[in-house]
Structure 1
Amino acid sequence: MKTGDLGELAAFVAIAEEGSFRRAAARLNLTPSTLSHSLRSLEQKLGVRLVNRTTRTTSLTEAGHALLAQIGPAFASIEMAVETINDFRDRPAGLLRMSIPRTVVARVLTPRFRAFADQYPDVTLEIAAENGFVDIVKQGFDAGIRLGESLDRDMIAVRVTPDLRTAVVASPDYLLRFPPPESPRDLHRHRCIGWRQAGSGALYRWEFEQDGRTLSVAVNGPLVLDDPDLMVGAALEGVGLAYATEQYIDDHLASGRLIRVLDDWCPPYPGFFLYYPSRRQTPAALRALIEALKVP
């Protein structure tokens, strides 16, 4: 087999795993047109169509599925074999692709990343700041960060924050206009800032717990957002009640710009975890990042 054939096969594997020419091109650091040319060349050599592509979707043909089943594991083995070379370097190197919620990027990763970059200048971290839950394996990410309760059991998880606590908050001005709720059941009389979950598209039901009792409340209000920081910003402007993470708004609580309500209905919960699929060889760059972010 010629060297060019291996490149075309690698292009096909990337397209198949990413399910998108754009993402596959980014993964291989190629232009989409170059990637399309590689796929066409491979299909011409094999005499069979491997990928069905429309303006909206990319899917494998039956022949494409058969080819991927045979060569996919081989390319994964090659990647792991190349990764073992990192163990012989003075320091880790390479590209890490991660899916992380925007709030976590700002409050967990960014404050620690300068020290990591200074220590490991040959590692490039590429972040997809996404609030919705994604399949990191299907979309070709090396790892992700999500709440521990959201993770599949077959993932390896490492804690990167302590336990967190929810806070229902509003501005002093809002609470002058609307008496504070005494129970989650009172929220139907309030203007609540809704959260549209990016992954599922569903409106999040606010969750509460007290003395072993749990409640989930479908709130209503004049504004629905898909970003926690925007929700806090709206609460600061007096729009309504917001459902936020206590540790991420502590400065607003300390200054009195936000006041919490329903405090006794908001117990701690497990925080965020860095997670990645179980594999025989964890990339050295990922091992280094885990050491930099993990919480004892």
Structure 2
Amino acid sequence: MTNNLDDLGVFLAVVRARGFRSAARTLGLSPATISDTIARLESRLDTRLLTRTTRSVAPTEAGHELAERIAPLLADAADAMDSVRSRSGTLQGRLTLNVPGAVMVDILPPLIEGFMARHPGVTVEIMVDDRLVDTVAAQCDAGVRYGEALAQDMIALPLGPRRQQAALAAAPAYLERAGIPAHPRDLLHHDCLRARFTSGALVPWEFERNGETLSLDVRARLTVGTNGSAALIGHAISGMGLCMAFRNWLQPHFDSGALVPVLQDWWPGFEGPFLYFHGRRPPAPLRAFVDYLRAARA
């Protein structure tokens, strides 16, 4: 029975990692051991579970069905074992989070470090993904989203600042060369540096002031994926054009003088991020993380 559970765990790791080598690194096993385990499981079930190509590994229809059915069972088994181990007084287990890159700059990292220092028996895996995938489908315990992306059936807990703000910035050298915009529509005649979500959509440039809102499709001289936001800000500092990003990302550069705030009275505000999760039997590490966040906010 133990071998069966171990083999199923290896199979699920391959499905999640979409490859033998990635799964091997996650599990601390050799690719050969992973391959032998999958072959043994397929032989035992007398069916093919994975389709292998030179680039990736994907589950067959039978493999997809098996993965969906065993994932919650293995999660429950792991949670039960963690609960028993935690009776010794030291919390044990694994916490997996699905988060957008926006919270990985300065919001989530200090919270994770503080939580892990308090619970040294817990391991944490953070999946950074801007596609807003379903956390259950991604096999994660919880996700981080901004208010507009929260599902109705989820429990939501504020994470970090309750309010955030988007900011527009440029280097002094660029503004000296191109002039300072007096109104958001002036941006249509400026060099703009834009970010693109993994989904393919451009990050919108939106402005608001005294009840008036504007959404502009400015010309992008340079476009960078959202996972390269630090590079985008670096290009703005180099004087390539104007960039729009989270104010908390840009504030250190405002303080140093590397960037200058532009159209500050038009910067829009929005609700900060939330940790969200199903309230049904959250695993012990997630319950502890929720308690830690609540204490941190208090």
- Per the normalisation by structure 1, the TM-score is 0.84
Partner residue in 2 for 1:235: 236
Partner residue in 2 for 1:99: 98
Distance (whole Å) between structure 2 residues aligned to residue 170 and residue 70 of structure 1:
51
Distance (whole Å) between structure 2 residues aligned to residue 170 and residue 149 of structure 1:
28
Q: 1:70 to 1:167 in 2, by over 3 A?
A: closer
1:152 aligns with 2:151: yes
Q: Using the TM superposition, give the Cα deviation of residue 53 of structure 1 relative to its aligned residue in structure 2, in angstroms.
A: 2.4
* Identical counterparts, % of pairs: 39
Partner residue in 2 for 1:224: 223
Measured against aligned partners, the alpha-carbon deviations of 1:28-79 in whole angstroms (never above 9, x if no partner) come to: 4433332221111111122222222223443333433454465444334323
Partner residue in 2 for 1:6: 5
Contact in 1 for aligned 2:170/2:237 (Cα 8 Å): yes
1:137 aligns with 2:130: no
Q: Using the TM superposition, give the Cα deviation of residue 213 of structure 1 relative to its aligned residue in structure 2, in angstroms.
A: 3.9
Q: Using the TM superposition, give the Cα deviation of residue 166 of structure 1 relative to its aligned residue in structure 2, in angstroms.
A: 0.8
Partner residue in 2 for 1:263: 264
Distance (whole Å) between structure 1 residues aligned to residue 283 and residue 273 of structure 2:
21
Distance (whole Å) between structure 1 residues aligned to residue 46 and residue 16 of structure 2:
22
- Cα RMSD over matched residues? 2.8
* 1:14-25 correspondence to structure 2 within 5 Å: 14-16=13-15, 19-25=18-24
Secondary structure of the corresponding residue to residue 106 of structure 1: coil
Contact in 1 for aligned 2:98/2:128 (Cα 8 Å): yes
Where does structure 2 lack aligned partners over 5 or more consecutive residues? none
Distance (whole Å) between structure 2 residues aligned to residue 164 and residue 19 of structure 1:
36
Secondary structure of the corresponding residue to residue 105 of structure 2: helix
Partner residue in 1 for 2:119: 120
Secondary structure of the corresponding residue to residue 43 of structure 1: helix
Partner residue in 1 for 2:282: 282
Partner residue in 2 for 1:165: 165
Secondary structure of the corresponding residue to residue 249 of structure 1: helix
Distance (whole Å) between structure 2 residues aligned to residue 118 and residue 69 of structure 1:
33
Distance (whole Å) between structure 1 residues aligned to residue 14 and residue 219 of structure 2:
42
1:40 aligns with 2:33: no
Q: 1:157 to 1:24 in 2, by over 3 A?
A: farther
- Per the normalisation by structure 2, the TM-score is 0.83
Measured against aligned partners, the alpha-carbon deviations of 1:175-210 in whole angstroms (never above 9, x if no partner) come to: 12222223322211001111121x212322212233
Measured against aligned partners, the alpha-carbon deviations of 1:120-172 in whole angstroms (never above 9, x if no partner) come to: 22122233444554443333333333323233333332211221011111122
Distance (whole Å) between structure 2 residues aligned to residue 138 and residue 248 of structure 1:
30
Distance (whole Å) between structure 2 residues aligned to residue 154 and residue 88 of structure 1:
31
Q: Using the TM superposition, give the Cα deviation of residue 27 of structure 1 relative to its aligned residue in structure 2, in angstroms.
A: 4.8
Where does structure 1 lack aligned partners over 5 or more consecutive residues? none
